[in-house]
Structure 1
Amino acid sequence: MHAILPMVVPQPLPAFLDTKPEDFRSWLENQSQPSMRWKQIRRGIVAGRAESFDSMSELPRNLRTLLTEQFAPLSTKIDKHLVATDGTHKLLIRLRDNRTIESVLIQESPRKTACISTQVGCAMGCVFCASGLNGVDRNLTSGEILEQLIRLRNLTGPEERLTHIVVMGMGEPLANLDNLLEALEIAGNPDGLGIGARHVTISTVGLPAKMRRLADSGKQYHLAVSLHAPNDELRSKIVPTNEKTGIADILSACDYFVEKTGRQVTYEYILLGGLNDSTLHARELAALLRGRIAHVNLIPWNEVEGLPFQRPQSDSQMQFINALKQSGISVKVRKRKGADIDAACGQLRRKVELETLAKA
């Protein structure tokens, strides 16, 4: 009888975009290559749309061969690519460890906005959101965050570019702040994607200490706070982490952000029919925000299979808007994009996971 040998699973190659510059320069030195190759290679991937080392004809052939053998230019793969009738693209991206995340390209001429994730899943537990139904697995690396932008940019025409970034995909961005800032720094570089800080919006459920850190970073990023309720009792039911923070501390951190950056804060408010969409709630919200440099972004809830909520009635939504406007609060309803391709955060990933479980 022959012994059955265990199957050897090949380990994925190190991701170029997650390799520290000093480590890669040391590798180049060992290959008798100048250190300037590092910037040249990164520019080729980030700005030049190269998805393989072999396509970088400006590099020596022997170096291209070595790079292909020892590094992955992009460590992620596109598992699913859906295109909506309104031109919205949604990607289900598979990571090196076989986990999946979502990214969305929203096209509304002349804007091309990338919506990206920062974590695999989410630990915040917002009751209406598909992203956190199974909790959080891990933070994304800076390279994995950057690769989402690259892959979405590569969907555009050769003369087109991303104009805006919204960090509103899966996960709590401020819980992975260091990796996010590192990725955005490269994205904002002229040799990168050339997207200025004022065209970047970072969304948070409201982590006061991290909000202050973001304000102190010296960057002019825009901040969006997912408020979703005008009082602590209701917000703690919708956003469980509110029990550890509270609206007062979140608003104090918002005030600090405005003071340090001079940037207006957007307050995201998802309208859940019959739960937080009454005129009384609108007036209470207006009282909270009165006197602040603020804007309210209303989001009628997108249905998620298995969750018990409903979209607000159109008359309730209009009354909510009017109550805010009458109180002098700037308000806008977010347009629904990609409705026919499960474009809301976490929906496609959840659908694929459920289908996989059903097959198993």
Structure 2
Amino acid sequence: MAVTPLSTTDDSSRSIPATLAAANSPLLGQSLEELTAWVQAQGQPSYRGKQLYQWLYHQGARSLQDITVFPKAWRQAMESVDVGRSTLHHRVVASDGTVKYLLKLRDDQVIETVGIPSAKRLTVCVSSQVGCPMACDFCATGKGGFIRNLDVHEIVDQVLTVQEDFGQRVSNIVFMGMGEPLLNSTNVVAAIRCLNRDVGIGQRAITLSTVGVPGRIRALAAEQLQVTLAVSLHASNQPQRLQLIPSAGAYPLEVLLDECREYVQLTGRRVTFEYILLAGLNDQPTNATELTQHLRGFQSHVNLIPYNPIDEADYQRPSEASIRSFVAELEHRRIAVTVRYSRGLEENAACGQLRASRQ
């Protein structure tokens, strides 16, 4: 069956010629070829395109004034050009070294991004939207409503911001921040390609998390990216999923799983399933058994995520005994499983909490 890639089917954004994009868009997010065309359109020699490219993606330029290899007169003439960088609105550091950032965009909207260091890597958790329209019942971001999609430069900027703040090269990216990436698929796919091509982060080190949008997982497969797809199930049956995720009414669990199987067939890559454990609701032995039945024969991996409580919802974090019991049931039935504990618990760890507390 022929599948149309996301970049030509997503109504949230339309493809436009590269030269037109370069003329009207922030510079960040554009390729070397596009930047070269832009500098030439400003009457500059082509080699300045490579200089601009290097300063944007590898030397942290936040304006053309920062690019000291450019002639001073030209920098002054181009003072109004939008490079596409955000400003730091707020920054908090947890005891484990995790850093949460609130970044203010050009329209004064604020988004969250997170830098998560470990012994061998630096991971950035990026947002794809301002707010989120999915309205998941347990999620602080969903409680705050949806405002707009993020542009390509606003996604790429988050990674550069964390990289510059840590003074360390980013090794991994997870699209697990604010928003539903597949509702902003054109810009998200373009940002992934930019982060791979221009920032130098391998696609296999990038994870895209989605709660599921009908048809979009199949279309993502057609893009032939090497990213890891992480699907947020959070329930072992349709009634429970509908309670937690309102959009599940239009995308039943079995239909979602069928599209995930098709994704595996089209890409040859396994799917990661994310499952937030909520005390007394979806952390029971019967839930674990139901989940294994759904995933039997599936090329997959399960990430169990103990819930981080938020003020806006009554759900609670499960006990360690419940977590161990759930893991044991999955392992007994030969389902690959990992427990993923959130970092920075004392600093509003749940996505959207810090933004809500500061707005």
TM-score (norm 2): 0.89
Tell me how far apart the structure 1 counterparts of residues 62 and 349 of structure 2 sit (CA, whole Å). Answer: 25
Tell me how far apart the structure 2 counterparts of residues 307 and 132 of structure 1 sit (CA, whole Å). Answer: 11
Once the two structures are superposed, the pairs formed by residues 75-94 of structure 1 within 5 Å of their partners are 75-94=85-104
SS of the aligned residue for 2:346 comes to helix
Determine if the alignment matches structure 1 residue 212 to structure 2 residue 218. Answer: yes
SS of the aligned residue for 1:155 comes to helix
Q: CA deviation at 1:36?
A: 4.3
Determine if the alignment matches structure 1 residue 328 to structure 2 residue 339. Answer: no
Residue 176 of structure 2: which of 161, 168, 173 is its match? 168
What is the aligned partner in structure 1 of residue 62 from structure 2? 51
What is the aligned partner in structure 2 of residue 357 from structure 1? none
SS of the aligned residue for 1:339 comes to coil
Q: 1:206 to 1:231 in 2, by over 3 A?
A: same
SS of the aligned residue for 2:199 comes to coil
Determine if the alignment matches structure 1 residue 123 to structure 2 residue 143. Answer: no
Q: 1:242 to 1:91 in 2, by over 3 A?
A: same
Determine if the alignment matches structure 1 residue 300 to structure 2 residue 306. Answer: yes
SS of the aligned residue for 1:150 comes to helix
Once the two structures are superposed, the pairs formed by residues 179-218 of structure 1 within 5 Å of their partners are 179-189=187-197, 192-218=198-224
What is the aligned partner in structure 2 of residue 153 from structure 1? 163
State the Cα RMSD in Å.
1.9
Q: CA deviation at 1:240?
A: 0.8
Letter in 2 for 1:15: P
Once the two structures are superposed, the pairs formed by residues 190-339 of structure 1 within 5 Å of their partners are 192-339=198-345
Q: CA deviation at 1:198?
A: 0.5
Tell me, yes or no, if the aligned pair for 2:37 and 2:49 is still in contact at 8 Å.
no
Gaps spanning 5+ residues in structure 2: where? 1-23
Tell me how far apart the structure 1 counterparts of residues 334 and 31 of structure 2 sit (CA, whole Å). Answer: 49
Q: Deviations over 1:147-174 (max 9, x none)?
A: 11111111122xx300000000000001
Q: CA deviation at 1:24?
A: 6.3
Tell me, yes or no, if the aligned pair for 1:202 and 1:222 is still in contact at 8 Å.
yes
Tell me, yes or no, if the aligned pair for 1:126 and 1:132 is still in contact at 8 Å.
yes
Q: 1:23 to 1:224 in 2, by over 3 A?
A: closer
Tell me how far apart the structure 2 counterparts of residues 328 and 24 of structure 1 sit (CA, whole Å). Answer: 50
Letter in 1 for 2:311: E
What is the aligned partner in structure 2 of residue 105 from structure 1? 115
Tell me, yes or no, if the aligned pair for 2:342 and 2:349 is still in contact at 8 Å.
no
Tell me, yes or no, if the aligned pair for 1:298 and 1:333 is still in contact at 8 Å.
yes
SS of the aligned residue for 1:102 comes to strand
Determine if the alignment matches structure 1 residue 62 to structure 2 residue 73. Answer: yes
Superposed structure 1 runs of 4+ greater than 4 Å apart: 18-27
Determine if the alignment matches structure 1 residue 15 to structure 2 residue 21. Answer: no
Rg comparison, structure with higher value: 1
Q: Deviations over 1:167-194 (max 9, x none)?
A: 00000001101101111111111xx221
Tell me, yes or no, if the aligned pair for 2:100 and 2:115 is still in contact at 8 Å.
yes
What is the aligned partner in structure 1 of residue 150 from structure 2? 140
- Percent identity over the alignment? 40
Q: CA deviation at 1:19?
A: 7.3
Residue 40 of structure 1: which of 47, 51, 54 is its match? 51
Letter in 2 for 1:345: C
Per mean C-alpha deviation after superposition, the further-off stretch among 166-175 and 208-217 is 208-217
Q: Deviations over 1:102-122 (max 9, x none)?
A: 000100111100100000000
Tell me how far apart the structure 1 counterparts of residues 33 and 121 of structure 2 sit (CA, whole Å). Answer: 36
Q: CA deviation at 1:39?
A: 4.1
Q: CA deviation at 1:18?
A: 6.2
